[in-house]
Amino acid sequence: MSESHDTGFFYLPMKILAIETSCDETAIAIAEFSGSKKKPALSVLSNIVSSQMALHAKFGGVVPNLARREHQKNLPHILKMALQEAGMLARQPKKRSLREIEKILGREPELLKRFKKEVVTLKAPDIDAIAVTHGPGLAPALWVGVNFANALAKLWHKPIFPINHMEGHLYSALLNQGQKLAVIKFPALALLVSGGHTELVLIKNFGKYKIIGETLDDAAGEAFDKVARILGLPYPGGPEISKAAENSKVWRRALPRKLPRPMLNSKDYNFSFSGLKTAVLYLVRDLPRTQPLKIARPAIAKEFQSAVVDVLIAKTIRAAKEYKVKTILLGGGVAANKLLRKILAEETEKNLPTAGCRLPALCMTGDNALMIALAAILGKNKKTRKIIRADANIRLGN
């Protein structure tokens, strides 16, 4: 057991219970890391993701306070499921003072109620540490997970790894073949595309990051979601737009004009998607009567998807060449996009034949807690025994 070491990284073997609540998924995973410092091996003991998507879909997007309430309701139950799957669920009917826990969960009354009923009666599981997303994300949602982690750490006397959500998406790319971790060679470059972020991250080594480009306005996933709304498609828009695009057979003829590729030729590695969204809005507004949205929708969806992918890929490949990277990683919810995956693999092979391209397994693209456990270890993060705080605006590399 590595419990007495507070410096953090790479005391293997290590079992980590990870918690993720930065947006609309409540997720808990338990992972065991073994092997050597240089080559850690992973064994997934449990990986539970409970999505609130259907709930938020009615509102056309994630409602932060609704997410907060749902995380409070879900966490104790998801914890029990994760412990059960890992063979760690056992009861311990012991009375203990709950004063500290009551203080930690003072702002999460629903969670406190359930915690007292369902969690304090559990036997402390055989884990070495807790990892939790402390940012970036929706502040009310993040705080629930962070306070839950603080309370568990107090109850079970475990240290906490506070983890950056984007670092989780970054390492999720290494899980693309069951539980075997793919190799990463440095320098590496990650294209992280989610609902809240679009970033190109240069990775000098495990835990050493520099954001070399990012979106100046909407994130790629956000653009998919907003354009889906314009096209009359439900939330989340990413999968809906891809699906609609696949139905486009007559797309060039049905499309009155092409959409712009914003910042495609700008010298930096930044992105901008809000103008593209506005261009879609005008395109829809100007549709001829003979070609209503119902008919033009697949063509517009396809053209929009191509525009986003064109810009993402062009900048990624250009940055990869400039920094002479040896591995390209793709991560985030938009990494589920088939076209993006296909073109990134093709272009990497064409332009950087000696570099490898790592695409996360589809089940690892959306938010999950397994990626948070991965980041705790691979990112060489430090653990602490102090009460931690959420920070909705943290950035990689700062």
Residues making contact with ligand KG4 (CB under 6 A): 23, 194-196, 221-222, 224-225, 236-239, 242, 332-334, 336-337, 366-367
357-396: which residues touch Zn ion (CB under 5 A)?
367
As measured in angstroms, the least distance from the Cβ of 112 to Zn ion is: 27
Query: Whose Cβ is closer to Zn ion: residue 303's or residue 367's?
Result: 367
Residue-wise DSSP of 3-33:
TT--S-TT-SSEEEEEEE-SSSEEEEEEEEE
Cα(225)–Cα(241) distance, integer angstroms: 9
Give the count of beta carbons closer than 10 Å to the beta carbon of residue 345.
15
334 binds, among Zn ion, ligand KG4, none (CB under 5 to 8 A by kind): ligand KG4
Cα(45)–Cα(321) distance, integer angstroms: 38
x/- track of binding to Zn ion for residues 135-174 (CB under 5 A): ----------------------------------------
Cα(173)–Cα(363) distance, integer angstroms: 11
Under DSSP, is residue 46 helix (H, G, I), strand (E, B) or coil? strand
187 binds, among ligand KG4, Zn ion, none (CB under 5 to 8 A by kind): none
221 binds, among Zn ion, ligand KG4, none (CB under 5 to 8 A by kind): ligand KG4
As measured in angstroms, the least distance from the Cβ of 333 to ligand KG4 is: 2
Supply 238's token pair.
Answer: 């990413």
As measured in angstroms, the least distance from the Cβ of 194 to Zn ion is: 4
Supply 15's token pair.
Answer: 């079992």
As measured in angstroms, the least distance from the Cβ of 195 to Zn ion is: 7
**Closest of 33, 126, 114 to residue 87, by C-alpha:** 126
Helical segments of the chain, H only: 53-57, 64-85, 99-104, 109-114, 139-156, 165-172, 220-230, 237-246, 251-254, 274-285, 293-322, 338-351, 370-378
337 binds, among ligand KG4, Zn ion, none (CB under 5 to 8 A by kind): ligand KG4
- Contact status: 194 vs Zn ion (CB under 5 A): yes
Query: Whose Cβ is closer to ligand KG4: residue 125's or residue 221's?
Result: 221
Query: Whose Cβ is closer to Zn ion: residue 66's or residue 387's?
Result: 66
